[in-house]
Amino acid sequence: MIRRRSAGFTLIELLVTIGIGAILVMLALPSFTEAIRSNRVTTAANQMLATVNLARGEALRSKSSAHVCPRNDTGTACGSDWTKGMLVWTDENGNGKFEEAEVKRVVEPQQGIQLKFGNFTDIAFDERGRPQPLKAFAFSMQASVCKTNAETRRDFAINRMGQVSMTRAKCQ
């Protein structure tokens, strides 16, 4: 009797391999989703830190006040909703009012991020890099969808000297 040598996989072997692969993907997906969420918060936090530091640096460099404010619906002026993005501008002519020609940077909004700014609609720095009014500011951001006890919240504090600090915290 002649034996034939088969090359390849049988249908049963292929289905078992696909089934094991599907189970492994289902086990890994929740942790991968949390990693993506954490990465989004980290990216948004770094962008916020860079934006506030840019405004402070512009105030020191230009010897005029600098502001970070939320964009309006059209993105061409200051508004009241921080989730629509931000504008960094300097008051070069000293009139204390926003003018489109004074914009230094337009910051696009981050998707999947929730911002909590309290009751202030503007972060301003004087020509010496101190916040205006001369008081400390605090605000936070976190993922829109949070897993319990996940450290996907960032708390920001701007002290009276204008230094910005950021700490990680558990989602609320």
**pLDDT band, very low/low/confident/very high, at 9 (cuts 50, 70, 90):** confident
Please, what is the Cα angle at 112 between 138 and 99, to 5 degrees? Answer: 60
Chain segment 88-143, per-residue pLDDT in tens: 999 988 888 888 889 999 999 888 899 998 888 899 999 999 998 888 889 999 98
Q: What angle do CA 136, 138, 143 make, to 5 degrees?
A: 165
Percent of the chain with pLDDT over 70: 97
> Where does the pLDDT of residue 1 fall: very low under 50, low under 70, confident under 90, or very high at 90 and above?
low
Rg from Cα positions in the chain:
25
pLDDT of residue 165: 94
Which pLDDT belongs to residue 31?
A: 74
Mean of the per-residue pLDDT values of the chain: 89
pLDDT reported for residue 108: 92
3-state DSSP assignment of residue 105: strand
Which two structure tokens, joined as six digits, stand for 141? 């951001």
Give me the amino acid identity at 133.
Answer: P
Domain chopping of the chain, boundaries: 11-169
Closest CA to 83 of 106, 110, 61, 65: 110
CATH class of 11-169: alpha beta
For residues 66-80, give the mean pLDDT.
90
- Which range has the top average pLDDT, 44-53, 72-81, 130-139? 44-53
